[in-house]
């Protein structure tokens, strides 16, 4: 028996999908299949196997070092992996031991930009068939299972802002390479457009040669692209996607980010989902997460059925849960030091935990009139770098708590930057402290996972605080 069969890891749907994947590999004469998993930061990592071996590897698994789960965003290993338990208190991870990537055949894609190349998203398992507890896709799947028990499915639509620049110098000199804990020199780039002509057709046409490249390959991947927009700042754009159920929108997000960066680089551009690049006049980018619940009958549980109401009681309780746990959940929606520079009053970004009806200054924007099947809540707090599995899982955990306790969100805030409300964290350190203190998120996401995640992020903060910044040099070097 194969590893998958022995441990019962695939559903009937996945078994059928695997047969179709084998057929596609042969029919398209694929030479390579990339096997990828989303790490703790939502970055895809993995290995490639030759097409002839892909069917076997799908079922038997592909070994991958567990030390990848111990790294911060500078690829520095922050856990003592060669000590007892590998720093995780788990013998299976001691000594940078292997786990197995097991492909999810339903995620198979043929990459349009890479010749004769397929792609499969994977989950992580130990040799005994148990899931690796720090695998974020597995964590999200578990949270979705709790939501299903309550009678609902999570529906999410993506609205993502990012930047694309002309690549001038990739900075590949011998001294530019960096090392673990010290990333390499950032590339030198130039703008594709000037900014501050939001949604003007002239600026869109300037961007269109790049849009055409990205649009063609994203649609060829089968991602549900809905709109392509020119954003407010220079070289900034926004993509939106049709809503999906459960794992699908999170899978879409990790593939989208990786695909956009790869496609852009092959054509001489640099795409970045960094929230606020340190480039003159460039604006912050956000990730607005549209969400609703589908009930057992397939209807929108957020759509009001009573006359005079815009939101159902389910939507209001869910909304109240999001607000109640906003501070702690920010550690997942805004996981970088840089992302907190976006939270500024009167800036189309939230700075406090409030909601409003069709108001772009609030944290949660309620959309839809009474009975509208498209009724939804738009959480405007996220940054585009967020791990989508953790971002969405935190929404489900918070929303379920609102449902369980029948919480009420209070009145709509029509003046969001003047309404008295709990402020969102102003730093990653503050967000992590709020996360550690939030009993609901600790239980729902797993106390061991929360401590693991916070340790990695606190290592990033410590590295940042040890640096002497340009600001400090300017402020003090001459004055004192």
Instruction: Give residue 307's pLDDT.
Output: 82
Percentage, residues of the chain above pLDDT 90 = 89
Q: Is the pLDDT of residue 22 over 80?
A: yes
Q: Measured between alpha carbons, how far is 2 from 468 in angstroms, rounded to an integer?
A: 53
Q: Report the range of poorest mean pLDDT among 127-136, 338-347, 396-405.
A: 338-347
Q: Tens digit of pLDDT for each residue in 56-109?
A: 999 999 999 999 999 999 999 999 999 999 999 999 999 999 999 999 999 999
Q: Is 131 left (phi over 0), alpha (psi -120 to 50) or beta?
A: beta
Question: What pLDDT band is residue 28 in, cutting at 50, 70 and 90?
Answer: very high
Q: Is the pLDDT of residue 200 over 90?
A: no
Q: Measured between alpha carbons, how far is 335 from 72 in angstroms, rounded to an integer?
A: 11
Q: Is the pLDDT of residue 223 over 90?
A: yes
Question: What pLDDT band is residue 418 in, cutting at 50, 70 and 90?
Answer: confident
Cβ contact 362:380 at 8 Å = yes
Cβ contact 326:381 at 8 Å = yes
Q: Measured between alpha carbons, how far is 329 from 29 in angstroms, rounded to an integer?
A: 45
Contact residues for 288 (Cβ-Cβ < 8 A; gap 6+): 159, 160, 378, 379, 380, 382
Higher pLDDT, 345 or 472: 472
Instruction: Give residue 257's pLDDT.
Output: 98
Q: 201-204 — which CB contacts under 8 Å span 24+ positions?
A: 203/230, 204/229, 204/230
Cβ contact 253:221 at 8 Å = no
Q: Tens digit of pLDDT for each residue in 127-164?
A: 999 999 999 999 999 999 999 999 999 999 999 999 99
Question: What pLDDT band is residue 198 in, cutting at 50, 70 and 90?
Answer: confident
Q: Is the pLDDT of residue 112 over 80?
A: yes
Half-sphere exposure of residue 21: CA atoms within 13 angstroms, side-chain side? 31
Chain centre distance of CA 37? 13
Mean pLDDT over each residue of the chain, to the nearest integer: 95
DSSP-assigned letters across all residues of 241-255: E--EETHHHHHHHHH
């Amino acid at each position: 028996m194969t590893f998958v069969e022995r441990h019962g890891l695939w559903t009937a749907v996945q078994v059928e999908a695997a047969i179709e994947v084998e057929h596609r590999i042969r029919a398209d004469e694929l030479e390579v299949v990339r096997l990828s998993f989303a790490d703790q930061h939502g970055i895809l990592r993995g290995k490639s196997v030759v097409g002839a071996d892909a069917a076997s590897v799908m079922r038997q698994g592909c070994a991958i070092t567990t030390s990848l789960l111990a790294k911060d965003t500078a690829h520095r290993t922050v856990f003592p992996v060669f000590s007892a338990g590998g720093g995780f208190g788990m013998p299976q991870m001691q000594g940078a031991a292997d786990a197995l990537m097991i492909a999810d055949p339903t995620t198979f894609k043929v990459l349009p930009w890479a010749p004769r190349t397929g792609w499969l998203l994977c989950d992580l398992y130990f040799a005994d068939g148990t899931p690796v507890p720090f695998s974020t896709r597995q964590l999200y799947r578990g949270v979705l299972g709790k939501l299903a028990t309550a009678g609902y499915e999570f529906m999410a639509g993506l609205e993502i802002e990012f930047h694309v620049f002309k690549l001038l110098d990739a900075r590949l000199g011998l001294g530019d390479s960096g090392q673990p804990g010290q990333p390499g020199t950032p590339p030198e780039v130039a703008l594709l457009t000037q900014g501050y002509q939001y949604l003007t057709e002239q600026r869109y046409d300037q961007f269109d040669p790049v849009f055409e490249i990205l649009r063609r390959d994203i649609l060829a991947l089968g991602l549900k692209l809905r709109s392509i927009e020119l954003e407010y700042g220079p070289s900034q754009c926004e993509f939106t996607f049709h809503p999906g159920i459960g794992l699908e929108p999170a899978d879409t997000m990790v593939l989208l980010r990786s695909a956009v960066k790869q496609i852009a680089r092959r054509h001489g551009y640099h795409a970045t989902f960094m929230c606020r690049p340190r480039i003159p006049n460039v604006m912050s980018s956000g990730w607005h997460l549209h969400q609703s619940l589908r009930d057992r009958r397939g209807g929108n549980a957020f759509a009001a059925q009573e006359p005079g109401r815009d939101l159902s009681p389910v939507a209001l309780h869910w909304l109240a849960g999001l607000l109640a746990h906003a501070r702690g959940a920010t550690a997942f929606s805004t996981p970088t030091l840089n992302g907190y520079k976006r939270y500024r009053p009167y800036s189309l970004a939230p700075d406090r935990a409030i909601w409003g009806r069709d108001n772009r200054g609030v944290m949660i924007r309620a959309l839809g009139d009474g009975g509208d099947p498209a009724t939804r809540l738009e959480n405007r707090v996220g940054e585009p770098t967020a791990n989508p599995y953790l971002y969405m899982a935190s929404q489900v955990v918070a929303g379920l708590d609102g449902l369980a306790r029948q919480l009420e969100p209070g009145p709509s805030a029509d003046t969001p930057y003047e309404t008295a409300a709990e402020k969102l964290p102003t730093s990653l350190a503050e967000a992590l402290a709020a996360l550690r203190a939030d009993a609901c998120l600790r239980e729902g996401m797993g106390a061991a996972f929360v401590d693991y995640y916070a340790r990695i992020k606190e290592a990033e903060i410590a590295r940042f605080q040890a640096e002497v910044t340009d600001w400090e040099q300017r402020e003090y070097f001459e004055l004192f």
